[in-house]
Structures are given as structure tokens and as C-alpha cells.
Structure 1
Amino acid sequence: MDLISGLQEVSRRLLVMRGVRSEEVVVGGQRLHHFTLKGSGKGPPIVLVHGLGGAASGFGRVLFPLAKRFERVFAVDLPGHGFSPEYCLGPMCVRGQYEMLVRYCREVVGAPAFVVGNSLGGAMSVQLAAEHPELVRALALVASAGADVGHELIREVLESMNVRTGEQARALTQRLFHRPPWAMMFFANALRGIYGTPAVRALSADVISTGEYLKPEQLQGLTMPVLFVWGANEKLLPRESLDFFRTHLPPHSQVRVVDGFGHLPHVERPGELVSELLQFADSAGL
């Protein structure tokens, strides 16, 4: 077991000790791992979708406060991430991951949900809401990827995630956080394992080769309540991404640029992110 796998296993055991369920479900013949927590709130189910190289365990510090407001909290490991086995549907790997997310929401969640997507998970969540609005009660995008800001800018982001040396690992860690926790810097070298998995390599290559990004009409056609959260200290995605979403999201959307947020506020500033999500939920009548 490598270092990152060991840390994820420790995180999983701690969550289970506190009452979170860690289990595998079969969706379309593919095994997926997810965390679920029964909530005490009256809000709809909430689904948390991680980004490229991320994992459901990254949402560990927001599960319990969200469970006080919503009836059930779901955090899924996309194929090849976290505890879910590797899987990719041919050359269109991103589309294959997205189709698994659709089936997961339909077959496992089973009700219109408040979907919260981070980074690549945000881009997939937009597609989910645009193509299957019956599955999405409300949508929150946190440092969402998918903006059409030009192929070269996206290539630079993906190349920064192609970690081969300790120096590159530390540089990526600096870009992922506003102020990287000391432990993250200490274990930064382990990112070489996270971003070198077959799933991450396939997804990155797919984005570079296809050049397919979110289309303005996908965003403009969203009818459910939408929250877009961007970190004022975002250092991974280009600032042009914020401009793209601001321009094309429908008028009823809420756009929040938050001081102290980097690319992974659910890891770095979980309390503040939960506050943003709950304020939005209240305003949307969830």
C-alpha cells in the first residue's frame, strides 16, 4: 500500500467510526465506491462530485455539517479514483466517467438532488444538469473546470498536473491551495502517484485530444437554482474561467468570489464552503 492509499484508508476508517457508510455499489456493471451519511435535515439528497485526481474522502470534513441540513449526503469515487476500480469507456474517457455519474444519480441516489461539483466534477455536473435536469434539484459549481478559455490555457493546467518530480509535486500543491496545509506540503511528493494513475492519464489525454469544453448554451439553458463559487485565490484554473461562467450562466445564477478560497475549499476551508452552500440552499428554498 502506497502512502496516499494508506492515508485514504485511515480517512475512511475515521469516517466509518463516526457513522459514515463506506460501501461499493454496482452501476452499469461497474463497481463504484461511495460514502453515504443519513442526515437529520429536510433538504433533498446532496451529491458531492470530486475533480480529476480527487476522491470522495476529500469531502470528509463537510459531510457532517451538510447532514444537519439535508436528508442524505452522497460522496462518490468516480472510476479510477479513491476506492473505485479503474474503468474507462474507450477513447472517450471523460464521457464514460460522465455516463457513470448519470447512472449513479439515477440508480443509487434515486431522487432529484442538490449536486455539488468541484473542478472536473463541476464540468460533469453541468452536463448532468443540462442533459438530465430531472436528476438535479439545484446545482453548485466549486472552482469548476470545463470553461472554453482556449486550448493552450487548458493544456498548461493539465501539464502542471503531470507530476514527475518532487519539485513539480510541490509546485502543484501550491497551486491547489490558497495556503497549503503543512501536511500537504510534507506529502506533496505522493501526488506523483495520484496524478499518474491510468484513469487520470486517460482523462487528461482525452481532454487534450478532443478539445471539447462546456458550450455556452449548456449553461444558458440551466433552469434549476445555480451557485458558482470561485476562489479569489484560485491558482490552478485560469482567471478566464470565471469570466466564461459569469458571461454564460443564466441570470438567476448566484456567482460568489470568496476571499481565502483556492481550488479545493472543501479541503482547505470546509466550514466556509458549507456556509456558502447552506446560504444558497436557503435562498433556493431547498
Structure 2
Amino acid sequence: MSRVASFEPVIADRFLLAKVGPMLAHERHGAGSPIVLIHGIGHRRQGWDPIVPLLVAAGHEVITVDLPGHGESPAYDAQGKDVKTYLAEVFDELYDDLGIDRPHVVGNSLGGLIALQGAMNGNAGSVTCLSPAGFWKNDLDFLYVRGLFRTMITAAGLLAPVAPRLMKHTFGKALGFSWLVQHPGRIPEDHALGDFRNMLKARPAVKQLFQGAYRFEGPLPVPATIAWAEHDKVLLPYQGRVAEQRLPEAFHTIMKGVGHVPMSDNPELVARVILESVARAAKGTGAAA
């Protein structure tokens, strides 16, 4: 029997669609020590919905955010700044406006790189990175990812007229998302269609975000967990070994049975990785044993 991730509508108790500082759309859920969840290129904050209730139940406030040019956030507008500087400033302002100081920051893909850079800037109490960008083995890794996104977004544009029908079926979801997730059939129809349309909306931002390859070197000043997807087809798993070499102070693990965007593949696993990371940070034991 196929398993479908629980994408129940997640209603924020505060600011269902708040736009602050640089006008990033976000949602706040629950109460407790804050955890900020940052998605990757071409995705949107609703991708975290399967794990939000699990983190809230563990006693945390959970904040999901749309990147500039994604979801319901305004257009990407770096005004001549490089990607790293612009996104760092965007999240600095967001945290100030939300009134949170050094939250636990969780990021997937580009979101992971944003989390890492935030830690270097003193804006994270801990970081949990799910297949983060920035650990290219060589330039070919970056060119592969850029080419993959360009190809899939072009294909999405061609399929747009029939997308509502495609997303009703497992084969249609596989056509659209098997490069991102291991189990595309677990994505509910409405979320699949929303993700598909968001990818098209995000095209201008994606183009700007791929202007250059950004490497992350460290060392990190805060406890960190780097969790790589076993079946990652975007940031290939050997990049996890590059991350281990560059960040020996972090805790490194493999997420079994999931793809690059793991939240719908196995919400319980992803939530456990995050909560264990936060617990290690609270004990001051962010590094691997």
C-alpha cells in the first residue's frame, strides 16, 4: 500500500501570511524555542508542512519562510548584491522583525547554505542542514545542478497546460518530482500542483540564484548537523563526504530511503534528525562522537 505524507492544512496561530522587513512571507506555529525552516531553490514553505506538527508537539515555535521570488514572497531583488550577501541581509532583517535571536535554523538545499552562512554571521544558535548546497567537489557539480534545474523548469513550462491532470496521478507526480523526492506518489495532489506552479513562478529568482557557484568552508561557530539524503539526485551523496572534510566539527549522518527534498518522503525521520540536532545543541555536543 502506498504511503502518503500528511499534508494536513497547517494553520498558523500568528501571522498566517505576514510580510516583514524585506517582505518575506512566513507562518508561525506553536510556542517554545524557535526553529526556522528554510526551503531550497524552486520550492516553497508548504514543503515543510508534513513535519511542522511534529516539531510543534515537541515544544517548539516553528517558522516557515518563502525565499524571495518563491511562494508568496515578493520578487528576488538583490539590487546588485551577490547572492550570499543579499540573502544574509534578508534573514537578518526577518529575525529582527520577528523578535527572535539566534534561532535554531534548518535548511534544505540552498536553505542549508543560508543556514550555514547565518551561523557564520552570528544569527543562528544551531543549524541543521538537509543536503545543503555549497559542497561542490568541483565546478562540474555546480554545472550539473544548474543544468538540471534549467532542464526541469523548461519541461515544467511545456507541461503547464496539462499539469492539473498530471498531478492527479502517481505517474504525473513522478514525471514532475522524481528528481527531487524518492516517493513522489506520497505528495498529495493539491501540494503537487502548488509545487509545480511555484517552480514556474520562481524562474526569475532561480536564474539569479544560479549566477555563480558558492562554496562553504567553515569552520562553524555553533553546533551543526549535516544530514544527506541517501538517494539525492540533485546534490549527489558524495558531496556529503566533502562536507565531512570541510566541517569535521559538525555531526554528519545519512538519511536513509529519501531524496533531495526529504520532508514528504519520511516526515518522521526528518523531524527526528532536527529534534536530535536541537537536543545536541542544547547540550553543547554538536560534533560527531
Cα deviation, 1:88-132, whole Å, max 9, x if unaligned, reads: 1134462323321221123314222110011101111111111x2
**AA in 2 matched with 1:210:** G
**AA in 2 matched with 1:46:** I
User: Aligned to 1:143, which of 109, 131, 148?
Assistant: 131
Q: Give SS of 1:266's match.
A: coil
Partner in structure 2 of residue 7 of structure 1 = none
Counterpart CA distance in 2 for 1:192 and 1:93 is 27
User: Aligned to 2:207, which of 179, 204, 207?
Assistant: 204
Query: What 5-or-longer segments of structure 1 have no aligned partner?
Result: 1-10
Counterpart CA distance in 1 for 2:248 and 2:178 is 33
CA drift of 1:71 comes to: 3.8
Question: In the alignment, is the contact (CA less than 8 A) between 2:174 and 2:185 conserved in 1?
Answer: no
Partner in structure 1 of residue 243 of structure 2 = 245
2:256 paired with 1:259:
yes
TM-score of the pair, normalised by structure 2: 0.79
Partner in structure 2 of residue 64 of structure 1 = 53
Partner in structure 2 of residue 51 of structure 1 = 40
TM-score of the pair, normalised by structure 1: 0.80
**AA in 1 matched with 2:240:** L
Question: In the alignment, is the contact (CA less than 8 A) between 2:20 and 2:97 conserved in 1?
Answer: no
CA drift of 1:175 comes to: 1.4
Question: In the alignment, is the contact (CA less than 8 A) between 2:39 and 2:109 conserved in 1?
Answer: yes
Partner in structure 2 of residue 35 of structure 1 = 27
CA drift of 1:193 comes to: 3.9
Counterpart CA distance in 1 for 2:130 and 2:99 is 21
Query: What 5-or-longer segments of structure 2 have no aligned partner?
Result: 1-6, 160-172, 284-289
Cα deviation, 1:147-188, whole Å, max 9, x if unaligned, reads: 232222212212222222369995561111112226579997
2:19 paired with 1:25:
yes
Deviates most, 50-59 or 70-79: 70-79
Counterpart CA distance in 1 for 2:248 and 2:190 is 42
Counterpart CA distance in 1 for 2:16 and 2:128 is 24
Cα deviation, 1:266-285, whole Å, max 9, x if unaligned, reads: 22211111112222222332
Report how many residues are paired: 260
CA drift of 1:206 comes to: 4.3
Query: Larger relative contact order (C-alpha < 8 A, sep ≥ 6)?
Result: 2
Q: Give SS of 1:73's match.
A: strand
**AA in 2 matched with 1:214:** R
Partner in structure 2 of residue 232 of structure 1 = 230
Partner in structure 1 of residue 216 of structure 2 = 215
CA drift of 1:84 comes to: 1.1
RMSD: 2.8
Counterpart CA distance in 1 for 2:68 and 2:177 is 23
2:148 paired with 1:160:
yes
Counterpart CA distance in 2 for 1:277 and 1:192 is 26
Counterpart CA distance in 1 for 2:234 and 2:270 is 18
